[in-house]
Amino acid sequence: MLKKTSKGPNFGLKTRKLIEQGILPIGKSLEEILFDLRITKAPNVLEMFGFLSRVHRRNGIIVAEGLVSCQKVTQAFTQYLVDSLQNSTTSPMDVFKYHAVGTGTTAEANSQTTLVTEVESRVSGTQVEGASANIFKTVATVTFTGTHAISEHGIFSASANGTMMDRSVLSPVDNVISSDEIEYTYQLTVNAET
């Protein structure tokens, strides 16, 4: 568990500004980022942040790349969330487990509803609580059947079509060949108002 330290009144603000712009701070772990977001959150604000990490496997070689993207939780997901609060039978929340990948490089926007250029089949991920009760976590491994420059990832409510929760443009691009595997871990952090 991280301890609060006295590093001045702006401690954590630089991290918050970077994350809000979709930029990962260099040299910070997810736990440090989440701590900075918690201590710099404005009062009376509910906020959501999506974080994506990946592990690439090829011919027995494992490369743990760590965090590769933050943001964009989509408008479509927030509207789906409101619909679910009204009727969870027609808008269940436990369906957001389908990981999709693509080769599109268009900048992220919260108005997007699909990946730009989806490739391969979507994979159903596990769904668990993250490191704390306010973190939703889904993990899936995509096994590739072709050669691609994977530059985008999304979380969806269905194996085809469905509502997109989050789209991430990946940096760096991950060049894959047939039989490569990438394990994606997506974590949605929801911080309650203070």
pLDDT single digits (tens) 41-69: 888 778 888 999 999 999 999 999 888 88
Give the number of domains in the chain: 1
| Range of weakest confidence among 2-11, 70-79, 141-150 | 2-11
d(CA 177, CA 184): 17
173: domain range? 49-191
d(CA 194, CA 176): 43
Which range of 30-34, 84-88, 176-180 scores highest in mean pLDDT? It is 176-180
Predicted pLDDT of residue 10: 65
Question: Does residue 36 lie in a domain region?
Answer: no
Question: Does residue 22 lie in a domain region?
Answer: no
Question: Does residue 26 lie in a domain region?
Answer: no
Q: Taking 60 as the threshold, does the pLDDT of residue 5 lie above it?
A: no
Predicted pLDDT of residue 4: 38
Question: Does residue 177 lie in a domain region?
Answer: yes
Q: Is the peptide bond before 172 cis (omega within 30 degrees of 0)?
A: yes
Query: Do 93 and 81 form a contact (C-beta atoms < 8 A)?
Result: yes
Question: Does residue 121 lie in a domain region?
Answer: yes
Question: Does residue 186 lie in a domain region?
Answer: yes
For the chain, what percent of residues have pLDDT higher than 70?
94
Burial of 72 (0-12, 13-18, 19+ CB in 10 A): buried
- Band (13; pLDDT cuts 50, 70, 90): confident
